[in-house]
Structure 1
Amino acid sequence: MLIDSIKQFFFLDTESSTKGKNNHFQQSALRILLVLTLGIFSLSEVHSLLTSADWTLISINTAYIALLCGLLFYSNKYTKISAALFLSSIVTANILLLMLSGEFYAKIYALVSLYSLPLITRVLFSFKASIFAIALNFCPFYLIASQSLSNSQNGGVSAFYFQLLTFVTLNIGLPFAVSRIIKNLENNATHMSFLYRKMNDNYAMYEEFFENTGTPTLLCDKRGKLLKANQLARRLLSENPKAVFAGTLLIDWLSPINSGNKKSLNKLAWKNNLAECTLKTNKNKTDDKGIVYIEVKKAPLTQYGHVVLHLQNTTPLRAIQQELANTLQTNTRLTHFDLLTQLPNHRHFCQQVNQRINDKAQHLTGAMFIIRISQFKLLNKQYGRDSANKVILDFSNALQAKLSDQAIVGRLRGVKFSCFIPLGQAYLLPRHLSTLIHSVLPSQIMVHGSALNMDYQVGIAYYDSDGKSAEELLEHCELALEYSNSSGRFSYYNQGLESKLLEEHSLGLSLNQAIKNKEIRVWLQPQVSGNGQIRSFEALARWQNNGQFVPPNVFIDIAEKLGMLPLLAENLIHELMNTLIQWHKEQIHTPIAFNLAGQELMNDGFFALLMSLISDHPWLSEMLELEITETSPVMTHPLIHKRLRSLSQYGYSIAIDDFGTGQASLGQLIDIPVDVLKIDRRFVAPLPHDQRHIDIVKSTIKLAESLNMKVIAEGIETKEQATLLTSLGCEILQGYYFGKPSPLSEWTDQNHAKAKALRMVY
């Protein structure tokens, strides 16, 4: 401790020379000289006090010692002044010794001290100041040299040369040599100062580069001990801004993934260029969602043996990867499965079936069938989309529960479901296969707590007689499905269906063009009373294609499938209205009944047309009657009931055509404002020989009378049928016996001559 204090006192800042601080060097030299001089004079003072009684000399020594102490005390603050006063004191003391002392050695000391003055001046001041001191020393040298030469007889010449050698050595040689040394030291100090500044600049640049690399970076030794961490790394590894990183280990901050050994992180970091780690979190935190994933990349420094580690927070990247994986899984489900039922979609179903077909060891043969839920659009409108989707879901679940594990079930689209089942030889017969399929179809589905009866159409094709791949079998099932109906819900594919479909397609194209060009004409068939007098007409549609008449049931069915019925009905009603307007002007009061299949009334535009016609022509209530075909599946739809009530309130007369053969029930006869019941021809044809049919017709007439409805019997072809129906109370009769349908033009030609001749007031 004492030695360090002494070194600090005499040598001050040991780095001052490297920084080019000359004042520190001069201050250190001054202190050394002052202390040495003070020590010598202090010893002299002690010696004088012990051996001499010359108080004058003692007083001078005491004053000089005091001066030296003062100079030493102020040497730190006033270095130049203290040095100048020190030199002045040396000069003064030595001159006084030369002049006053009679001792030989005292003069020698004074002379040597004066000759050493340039050296001391060079050390304490500049080279120029030492030159000035050298020049001043020529005066004492001249005086001493003159005295020596004057005593030439007593060896003065030798003394002169001795003094000259001493003068040159001490006054000239040593100052110049020391000046050279000091100059070299100053140059070295300047160069060292330059190198020191450059080193500091480089260090600051490397420090800034390390701090601003743009990535979290750590500097470690080979043992995993952290030497340095930039700001990004500190922020990444700890939320505490005051956290200390230097001296800690890498394993204090990071944990390797899938490893419980703490040392493994070091091995992973030093032996591999890439390591996956997790940031250590609070030990009390157990939620996996708080995990931060860190990727560690190694960059070794071969010269120093250290390692630079670049860190990257891969947590967002992992989240994106997880989201992409979930998206890929979702896309896979969207690509291969139906979202609602989770059944294979068309493409995936075909892949599974083709795979099963290729593995022929699994079965001898098989059957493909498509199930279509009937009237589902009506269910959708009646119960809403959510309830309709529930019906689909419940149906798919019930179907899968009843089928064997060997069956493959898929959802094609909408309300179509596809099934492929391996078969034994016993089920190759259609009636056996139909029984099997019927047994797996759920007969009822619960909707809002109520049982809903299910109705289906099924198209069936056999593997491999009807097709050798899933795609081909599905296509043939679709063909068979096109020809299934309420009376034959199970339809089997055969090659004739393709020809029929092509024919229907061609006919559909022609029909579409004919409807747009208004080529379908209105024909009239009379409806007569018991004595044969015409009471009304039924308007019938007739289409002549390429010179041949197409049966009405054929082209009406095609038009319904194509959705063209509303446009066809609009064309026919406009044609019919032109005739009715003329008949109204001619006072021809014979009503005409116009057939509607139901699809027309579901069309908002056609319904608005009917409402506007009777609003513009109130007399239509007595001239135009609307017939609703009971076999139409829309008969049970609430919207149809609502619109029929509106039409009835506006004045239209409503008739139920083909009563007893379709969807109507006694309850619906109350809901629908029916004015006329038409007995279907299938009940009339067996008359008068079938008693059961007589009873049915009789009960129908009684029912109509009880509900205050008129009755029309159609399909009468013999006199016996007409006589029997009249006797049973049927008021109006229609059939070939009274007249076949004829073009409307027959009743309008020659200024409506035929209509006028048979005019009857209705």
Structure 2
Amino acid sequence: MPKTPEQHAPKPWRFVSSLLGQGSKEILGQQERRDNVLTIAPIGFVVALLFSLFNTLLAPYPLLGAIEAASALLLLLPAIRLARRGQHLRWAENLLMLCGVVVFGALVVVGGVGGTGLFWAYSFPFMAFFIKGQRKGWLWSGLFLLEVGVLLLALRGTALAYPYDPVQIPHYLSSLLFVSVIAACFNLLRSRFQEKLHEGVLANTATAQHYLDQLQFLALHDPVTKLPNRTRILPLLQDEIGQAQSRHGGLLVIAMRLSRLPEISNIIGSDATNELMQAITGTLQQLLGEGGMLARIAREELLVIFHMRKPQFDLEKTTQMVGSYNLDFEIRGFPVHIDYTAGIAVYPRHGASAEALLHKAEQSMLQALQHGQAATMYDASQDEAFVRYHYRFGRLRDAMAQNQLTQHFQPLINIRTGKLVAAEALARWFDPEEGFISPLEFIPIAESSGLIKPLTRWTIREALHQCALWQTDFPGVAVSVNLSVRSLFDTELLPMLRQLLQETGINPALVRLEVTESLMLSAPEKGLAILQDIVALGVRLAIDDYGTGFSSLGYLKHLPVQELKIDQRFISQLVDDRGNMAIVESTIDLAHHLGLMVVAEGIEDQETMQQLWLLGCDIGQGYYYSKPMPIDDYLSWCHHYQQQQLLGPLAGVDGDVDGPAML
């Protein structure tokens, strides 16, 4: 910072210059000046009235008493009123100073008791510098000094003036000047202290303001990309809606969920991940150019606002365009490819408020994520699906807490012997308000939430207890339970199985757990270890719905399973579809070569059952034998089926339609 002319001057002159008020700063605010007046004026008002009474009644100085009383009422009282109102502070200060000039001047001239009025006048310079500051304090002090000198010389020897010694007057005026210098020095020290304090306050305030600005920025922006966050983007999006409305255009609002960001962050580190996010947002901003806006509304979620010249758009082309962004980067030597899922909402088609468009874009993005699509456009039917999902989620949670779920059992029959070998336990839900709700609806809800864990525990516990109970009448008949991949990876599954086997005393070989072949794609090594632990308990394992997913023969030969269930979609059209016939035949052949039993589910007629017998299938399940039944109906069916078996190897739908169980 360049030095001022005063800073270039020698130190003695700088002191004199400062003493005279050169370069002094007006740092007192309105409130401080008001407080100063209200500190001095009330004290002066009380003291002036007291001395007025004293000089009028007790001492022979009625003129001095009248001057003091008049000054208190006409000068100090208005100054107090102006200061209290906070109005015309300069007038209040000047009234206070004028009162000092009049009263202290009168004290010097009249002299007071024994000429002591001279001593009271020494307080005026201190008051002047305190109230008016360094520069104006000298003006008032000089005015007072001039007033006192003129009055003493002009009124010397008259009846009004105290009879001072002629030698005393110049000495008194010199002492008054000296006191003024002392008062100026004290005020200069006070002013410098206030200036330093003020500068410190300003510096601290600037630092605090800097931090406040940072906090305000971070409250509205993402710290990594410096893009607007969710809080900031909503008003900005509302502004964009207003502009689009005025130009009769449209807006694309795109919610983008970045895939695998946490996994990538674990590999390349948090700093490199920040560089990656900056690279991603930089690329998208280049694609947008001046035609849109970008925000980061969550750790893995971005919001793109794209201007459209017209509110009309091509649904298919728009979705393809959004899903075609190429996000390939190299961060610190690591090649990184970012997949994403995008949901699209359009103004004005899908809403006219920022909240509505953002909500619908995110909802559409979740829909795309659920269906494995790169991008989807918002559809009003998604609202119904989301509402229904969350409503069903709440109802299912309550149903599980209130034991409203029941278990049905569907028999599994040995196709060659007609013998009942097992029953599959299936969860059923009858809601008091909606009635029967299909497992195809509530099982996916449980699997996509935390409800699958308690549902699996309940299913296994109920199935094992029922299987243990029917061993008295139907010894050797096993129970089969479906396990989702998520339940299979539950660390509490094995301890629970071990505990239930001990509680029920059931032979572990009578328990069959069915897992889908998707296990081969999600953590196969970990899944294989878990399956081996289950088999070590003596429990049998089956691959369910075989043929519906990406079947890996390499993994299949290593899995410790004993059964293979062919999905019903291949069984239902077995007789009429030569392709299905070839798939089923090769699957049975493959399973037998691997030492596995084959179960065909979805058998609905005798012709299908006979064809499966010819192909060498081991076990059948389906409506041809029986539909799933509550436990009491299932036990009755078992008794009836066994009686039929004693008469002859018969089977039929619900036990009503007879047909050969073996050829």
Class of the TM-score when normalised by the shorter of the 2 chains: 0.5 to 0.7
Asked if residue 461 in structure 1 is aligned to residue 345 in structure 2, the reply is yes
- How does the TM-score come out when normalised to structure 1? 0.54
Which is higher, the Rg of structure 1 or of structure 2? 1
CA contact (8 A) 2:562 2:596 kept: yes
In the aligned structure 2, how far is the partner of 1:642 from the partner of 1:325?
A: 59
Q: What residue is the counterpart of 1:524 in the other structure?
A: 409
Q: 1:268 to 1:601 in 2, by over 3 A?
A: farther
Q: 1:248 to 1:267 in 2, by over 3 A?
A: closer
Q: 1:670 to 1:447 in 2, by over 3 A?
A: farther
Asked if residue 675 in structure 1 is aligned to residue 562 in structure 2, the reply is yes
- Counterpart among 218, 226, 239 of residue 334 in structure 1: 218
1:262-661 aligned within 5 A: 270-274=23-27, 299=134, 302=138, 303=177, 304=180, 308-309=188-189, 310-311=192-193, 312=196, 317=201, 320-321=204-205, 323-340=207-224, 342-360=226-244, 364-373=249-258, 384=266, 394=276, 397-398=279-280, 401-402=283-284, 403-405=287-289, 406-413=291-298, 415-423=300-308, 428-440=313-325, 442=327, 454=339, 457-484=341-368, 485-486=370-371, 490-531=375-416, 532-546=418-432, 548-586=435-473, 588-614=475-501, 619-630=506-517, 635-636=522-523, 640-661=527-548
- Give the CA deviation at 1:398: 3.4
CA contact (8 A) 2:411 2:422 kept: yes
CA contact (8 A) 1:524 1:744 kept: yes
- Give the CA deviation at 1:470: 2.0
Which segment is superposed worse, 441-450 or 662-671? Answer: 441-450
Q: 1:266 to 1:523 in 2, by over 3 A?
A: farther
Amino acid across the alignment from 1:708: G
- Counterpart among 735, 751, 756 of residue 622 in structure 2: 735
1:29-44 aligned within 5 A: none
Asked if residue 747 in structure 1 is aligned to residue 634 in structure 2, the reply is yes
**SS of equivalent residue, structure 1 residue 654:** strand
> Which structure is higher in RCO with an 8 Å CA cutoff and minimum separation 6?
2
CA contact (8 A) 2:248 2:311 kept: no
CA contact (8 A) 2:250 2:348 kept: yes
- Give the CA deviation at 1:594: 0.7
- Give the CA deviation at 1:449: 5.4
CA contact (8 A) 1:714 1:734 kept: yes
CA contact (8 A) 1:427 1:433 kept: no
**SS of equivalent residue, structure 2 residue 288:** coil
1:12-411 aligned within 5 A: 247=12, 249=14, 270-274=23-27, 299=134, 302=138, 303=177, 304=180, 308-309=188-189, 310-311=192-193, 312=196, 317=201, 320-321=204-205, 323-340=207-224, 342-360=226-244, 364-373=249-258, 384=266, 394=276, 397-398=279-280, 401-402=283-284, 403-405=287-289, 406-411=291-296
CA contact (8 A) 2:275 2:331 kept: no
Q: 1:587 to 1:743 in 2, by over 3 A?
A: closer
Amino acid across the alignment from 1:735: G
Q: What residue is the counterpart of 1:95 in the other structure?
A: none
CA contact (8 A) 1:380 1:388 kept: no
- Give the CA deviation at 1:551: 1.1
- Structure 1, unmatched stretches of 5+, are 1-220, 227-246, 252-262, 276-296
In the aligned structure 1, how far is the partner of 2:335 from the partner of 2:560?
A: 28
CA contact (8 A) 2:414 2:420 kept: yes
Amino acid across the alignment from 1:273: E
Number of residues of Structure 1 aligned to a counterpart in Structure 2:
482
Identity %: 24
**SS of equivalent residue, structure 1 residue 439:** coil
- How does the TM-score come out when normalised to structure 2? 0.61
Q: 1:695 to 1:407 in 2, by over 3 A?
A: farther
In the aligned structure 2, how far is the partner of 1:510 from the partner of 1:614?
A: 31
Tell me the alpha carbon deviations over residues 165-193 of structure 1, each in whole angstroms, 9 at most, x when there is no partner.
Answer: xxxxxxxxxxxxxxxxxxxxxxxxxxxxx
**SS of equivalent residue, structure 1 residue 498:** helix
**SS of equivalent residue, structure 1 residue 627:** strand
Amino acid across the alignment from 1:337: H
In the aligned structure 1, how far is the partner of 2:214 from the partner of 2:411?
A: 65
Q: 1:758 to 1:224 in 2, by over 3 A?
A: farther
